[in-house]
């Protein structure tokens, strides 16, 4: 395949993706009130459970800033488990790239330095897109900004390591809770369908 054909195919795929996203957004907006309430209730349940468990574990382990675990869980959890899994992957990759880029920026000019921040942000964005993880670039940029712009005590490598651990903890909690709730939803839907089938068979 030539470079022109490859570029054309990429543009087609991008257009299809945008159309699919627009259709999905329209479907959610036109969902009946009962469906929206049910989806919102399950989303609230997953979010509260994932964030609370992540923060509780982080606080018990004395990670220093356990709220980052809770924030990661909230950022990762999605209405559907497949989306949660993808968001978790992006969160982990972005944090890892952002941690490395942040440390590079600290080595170049230190914390609070504009040039260091610009270098770190540019490196993490290029790295994520090169690794075919463009969605992780935003998370990577946030991570590098935290390392470079937020004052912290202790060795810089320790701060980066703790941040990665807290993000991994929050992501793991979001994935675990997301899977459990998705499993419960599937079982509830199966039971409902079974009851409807039984009712239709018994109706004269």
pLDDT at 32: 72
pLDDT at 140: 84
Distance CA 168, CA 91 (A): 8
Phi/psi at 64 (5° precision): 100, -50
pLDDT at 18: 65
pLDDT in tens, 36-72: 787 788 788 889 999 999 999 999 988 778 888 898 8
Let me know if residue 143 belongs to a domain.
yes
Q: Read off the pLDDT band of 95 (50, 70, 90).
A: confident
Q: What is the DSSP string of 21-86?
A: HHHHHHHHHTS-HHHHHHHHHHHHHHHHHHHHHHHHHHHHTT-S-THHHHHHHHHH--SSHHHHHH
Mean of per-residue pLDDT scores for the chain: 79
- The CA-atom distances, in angstroms, between 131 and each of 16, 59, 116, 135 are 22, 33, 22, 11
Let me know if residue 25 belongs to a domain.
no
The yes-or-no verdict on residue 128 having pLDDT over 80 is yes
- Decide if 93 contacts 158 (C-beta within 8 A): no
For helices 67-76 and 81-109, what crossing angle results, to 10°?
Answer: 130
First-to-last C-alpha distance (Å) of the chain: 62
pLDDT in tens, 103-119: 777 777 766 678 878 88
Cβ-Cβ contacts under 8 Å for 16 (sequence gap 6 or more): none
pLDDT at 60: 92
Let me know if residue 10 belongs to a domain.
no
Structure tokens at 4: 């022109």
pLDDT at 51: 93
Cβ-Cβ contacts under 8 Å for 47 (sequence gap 6 or more): 73, 74, 77
Considering only residues 79 and 46, tell me which one the structure prediction assigns the higher pLDDT.
46
- Mean pLDDT check: name the lowest of 10-14, 64-68, 171-175: 10-14
Let me know if residue 161 belongs to a domain.
yes
Domain of residue 130, residue span: 31-169+182-202
Q: Read off the pLDDT band of 29 (50, 70, 90).
A: low
- Mean pLDDT check: name the lowest of 55-59, 73-77, 93-97, 104-108: 104-108
Let me know if residue 175 belongs to a domain.
no
Q: What radius of gyration, in Å, describes the C-alpha atoms of the chain?
A: 21
Distance CA 118, CA 16 (A): 33
Q: Tell me if residue 34 falls in helix, strand or coil.
A: helix
Let me know if residue 52 belongs to a domain.
yes
pLDDT at 52: 95
Considering only residues 189 and 183, tell me which one the structure prediction assigns the higher pLDDT.
183
Q: Read off the pLDDT band of 183 (50, 70, 90).
A: confident
Let me know if residue 49 belongs to a domain.
yes
Let me know if residue 133 belongs to a domain.
yes
If one counts the domains in the chain, the total is 1
């Amino acid at each position: 395949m030539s470079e022109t054909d490859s570029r054309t195919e990429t543009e087609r795929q991008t257009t299809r993706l945008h159309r699919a996203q627009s259709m999905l957004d329209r479907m959610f907006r036109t969902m009946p009130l009962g469906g929206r309430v049910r989806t919102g209730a399950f989303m609230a349940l997953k979010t509260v459970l994932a964030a609370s468990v992540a923060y509780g574990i982080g606080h018990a382990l004395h990670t220093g800033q356990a709220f980052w675990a809770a924030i990661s869980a909230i950022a990762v959890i999605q209405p559907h488990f497949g989306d949660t899994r993808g968001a978790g992957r992006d969160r982990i990759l972005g944090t890892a790239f952002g941690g490395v880029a942040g440390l590079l920026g600290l080595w170049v000019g230190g914390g609070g330095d504009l040039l260091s921040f610009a270098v770190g942000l540019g490196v993490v964005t290029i790295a994520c897109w090169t690794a075919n993880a463009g969605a992780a670039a935003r998370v990577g940029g946030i991570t590098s900004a935290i390392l470079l712009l937020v004052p912290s005590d202790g060795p810089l490598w320790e701060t980066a390591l703790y941040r990665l651990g807290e993000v991994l903890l929050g992501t793991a909690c979001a994935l675990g809770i997301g899977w459990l709730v998705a499993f419960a939803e599937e079982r509830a839907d199966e039971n409902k369908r079974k009851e409807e089938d039984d009712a239709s068979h018994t109706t004269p």
